[in-house]
Amino acid sequence: MAKNSHDQVLKLSDLLLKGSAANAPIESFEEDNILIEEGTSVEQIFLIEEGEVEVFIRDKKVSSFPAPAVVGEMSLLFGKSVACVKSRTRIFFRRVSYDALLDEEKRLLRELAELRNRSNMEQGRYNLR
């Protein structure tokens, strides 16, 4: 992950911890547990606080993210998961429901959109607002 992208994830993690994730209990999964199944509707995002997760598309590993990481946010934008996310190591995380996100100020949604746009720009994609 590029340093700039990692900085954006840290900023988003901080926003979540100050908002809707602040009261969410810390949970843990052992290695090789699936957090998000590919193609399913997901009603929450996961704030990974310790450990590492891997991302698979059609059973092919495409990425991994060490903590701090936020996963599941793309489902918020697209309606269903485009990837499978599973724990590579033992992880500690918080679940934040989309309802809790929507109840919060619009700042989180703006931050998610900005994060997506920055990522698209880094990858040479156009901003299609």
- Taking only the tens place, the pLDDT of each residue in 28-86 is 999 999 999 999 988 888 989 999 999 999 999 999 999 988 888 877 777 788 899 99
pLDDT greater at residue 96 or residue 30: 30
pTM higher than 0.85, yes or no? no
Beta bridge partners of 60: 57
Cβ 38 vs Cβ 83: under 8 Å:
yes
Cα 69 from Cα 12, distance rounded (Å): 9
DSSP state of 20: T
Helix (H) or strand (E) holding 94: strand 91-97
CA distances from 106 to 15, 44, 52, 66, 71 (A): 12, 16, 29, 27, 19
Q: Which fold has domain 3-118?
A: Jelly Rolls (2.60.120)
Q: What is the mean pLDDT of the chain?
A: 81
- Reply yes or no on whether the pLDDT at 20 is more than 50: yes
Domain boundaries, the chain: 3-118
In this structure, of 48-57, 58-67, 105-114, 116-125, the range with the lowest mean pLDDT score is 105-114
